[in-house]
Amino acid sequence: MRYILVNKPYEVLTQFTDEHGRATLKDFVPVPDVYPVGRLDFDSEGLLLLTDDKALQHRLSDPKFKVPKTYWAQVEGTVSEEALAKLRRGVQIKEGLTAPAQASIIAEPAELWERSTPIRFRANIPTSWLAITISQGMNRQVRKMCAAVGLPCLRLIRARIDELELGELAPGQWRELTPEESRKLKAKFSMTKNPANRKVLVKGEKAPQPTPRRPLKS
């Protein structure tokens, strides 16, 4: 089994083919038969996990398992305590009420790379950086959460998936997980149960059959 971390650049699709000729993961990761765990929007950047471990891919992608993901969001405007409180409580977006998030103001991340297409700044309007951790997977969720509290998102970078961090990977660079990282990841999620405490089956896996009861003697 292979487990690969890649720093997905801006305007790269989270897939290996595209009929319209846009950049894909194939342009950066020359490894066959690995697939992304979850998605990262075309206009977002940062950490992706690729693997050929279908069982683990299923568990990490399934919203039931609430895998935490941390994003760095560059937003337009000054972040107020009220906006932070709303993000931490959950906000209403088109898809519904978001679960409470971890949200904090941060300095611009150290040694941040230049984006291939520069951010469009507006004169006399400051920008701020937020660290936001969520465990849901609604469409463009972090951007919509920021917009809902009056902070349009200018740039979005995924920095962390559970305990896996972006580290020093430059855009387009990738690395294999270390044996210890792979071991910890599989140990944490391979036997995870869903909230109903029922085993989640991977495609092709048979459900366990109940043990037959012996008839009571009269």
Report the C-alpha gap between 188 and 190 in whole angstroms.
6
Amino acid identity of 96?
G
Report the 3 state secondary structure along 38-74.
CCCCCCCEEEEEEECCHHHHHHHHCHHHCCCEEEEEE
* Inter-residue contact 118 to 155 (CB < 8 Å): no
Catalytic residue list contains 162:
no
- 155 CB neighbour count, 10 Å cutoff: 17
CA dihedral in degrees (120, 126, 129, 135; nearest 10)?
Answer: -70
* Inter-residue contact 99 to 134 (CB < 8 Å): yes
SS3 147: helix
Q: Which of 18, 27, 41, 162 is catalytic?
A: 41
Q: Catalogue the active-site residues.
A: 41
